[in-house]
Amino acid sequence: MFQKRSSRGTFSSSRRNFSRPGGGRSSTPSRGGQRGFRGSFISIDKFINKAAPVTDIPAEAYVPETPFADLKINNRLKQIIAQRGYALPTAIQDKTIPHILLGKDLIGLANTGTGKTAAFLIPMINKMIGNKEEKLLVVVPTRELATQIQEEFIALTRGLNLFSVVIIGGANMHRQVSQLRSRPNLVVGTPGRLKDLVQQRKLDLSRFSNVVLDEADQMLDMGFINDIKFLLSFLTQKKQTLFFSATLPPAIEHLIKDFLVDPVRISIRNQATPSQIDQDIVRVKQGEDKIEILHNLLKESAFQKVLIFARTKSSTEKLSKILFSRGFKTESIHGNKSHGKRQMALKMFKEDRVEILVATDIAARGLDIPNVSHVINFDVPATYEDYIHRIGRTGRADKTGIALTFVS
């Protein structure tokens, strides 16, 4: 629970600031209700959706064709998967792993939080068990996602004598170069730092016969397309290439034509927003203070573990400090923080040592954070796609979640 609490009741009794479009005197704002904001227009209607009852969710649960125990993979790997409590694969895992095991190039389209990491790690680890010289390069858009993938790799390879290294900006380059000398089986990193080490001849990609681009569309949005082309050009001509993405924009299609050979296409995209997320708006009327409204919401007992999104690095840090000064346990992550501080903030949030994490969109994709009760868009996202990824941090693992968006 938060340090500060109100005795006025639960979340449902404090929603006096909420209204449907057309209610009250305020009219529907342009640009999602943010004056001077140059993002895509998002209708307020898209921020409102009643969650389906929890009892409805199991009826829609995916039934896999092949349980992990029946996969044609190493028995020790099967044991590790079982020890981690995984009995049945998710849809993206079930549909992609058999093709990857056959060595095919693949394009996997799936919403965030659907288990894409294990979808490519399990078959790739199986390949490494069969041949310790197999090497996998995984390129991701953010430092946090790179670290999370390495953590999953370590968990899935315990006792298998396989090694990994994370190559990301904001961390000690000399240490990364030293770790590369151990000839790791997995190198996972962000495009910029990977490119730097290739150019410095500290990373030899010609040894890698497997590559994964994870969250490919986000890397495109972040301007990494040329860096990705640069990295792919150094890999062996005969390689297995896997693309995982939520969307497939034209620039990614061009990459596919240039670097993939007869790829299998798997699409497991569900409805735009998960049915177990209750979405609503918080209308800020003229003259009202957004921070005061946020403060009053956070005092309610239902707000147990809250991820708040702000638009800029400076506004993220400022909001976190304001909430901390008001007695809330908060941390922040954004691009101006060192990698070590970002990882510590994320770790504290995951472990419930802090109950509010204020973040920019670097926390919107790929991160697996358990039991987030609320996602709050303090600033409207730039695109509806960003909105989908943001709110996808709650309502996970068949739990209900709540997403609130401030509009004015």
Residue ranges per structural domain of the chain: 11-57+275-407, 63-268
Residues 6+ apart with CB under 8 A from 76: 129, 159, 160
Give the per-residue pLDDT at 38: 52
- Alpha-carbon distance of 120 to 186, in angstroms, equals 12
Mean pLDDT of 248-262: 89
**Superfamily of structural domain 63-268:** P-loop containing nucleotide triphosphate hydrolases (3.40.50.300)
Which of the 8 DSSP states describes residue 155? Answer: H
**CATH number of the 11-57+275-407 domain:** 3.40.50.300
Q: Which two tokens stand for residue 340?
A: 């070590």
- Alpha-carbon distance of 302 to 294, in angstroms, equals 14
Confidence of residue 7 (pLDDT cuts 50, 70, 90): very low
Instruction: Tell which wins on pLDDT, 251 or 9.
Output: 251
Phi-psi region of 24 (alpha: psi -120 to 50; beta: other; left: phi over 0): left
Smallest Cα–Cα separation from 375: which of 292, 285, 287, 274? Answer: 274
Q: What percent of the chain has pLDDT over 70?
A: 84
The pTM of the full predicted model, rounded to 2 decimals, is 0.71
- Helix ranges (H only) for 248-332 are 250-259, 290-298, 313-325
Q: Please give the distance of CA 293 from its chain centroid, rounded to a whole number.
A: 28
235 close to 206: Cβ distance less than 8 angstroms: yes
Give the per-residue pLDDT at 34: 43
132 close to 182: Cβ distance less than 8 angstroms: no
Give the per-residue pLDDT at 178: 96
Smallest Cα–Cα separation from 311: which of 201, 390, 369, 212? Answer: 390
Domains 11-57+275-407 and 63-268 share a fold: yes
379 close to 309: Cβ distance less than 8 angstroms: yes
- Quickly count: other Cβ atoms within 10 Å of residue 228's Cβ: 22
Confidence of residue 272 (pLDDT cuts 50, 70, 90): low
302 close to 129: Cβ distance less than 8 angstroms: no
- Alpha-carbon distance of 282 to 376, in angstroms, equals 9
**Is residue 1's pLDDT more than 60?**
no
Confidence of residue 87 (pLDDT cuts 50, 70, 90): confident
Task: Look up tokens 């296409």; give the residue.
Answer: 265
Indicate the pairing of strand 136-139 with strand 186-189: parallel
One-letter amino acid for residue 125 of the chain: I
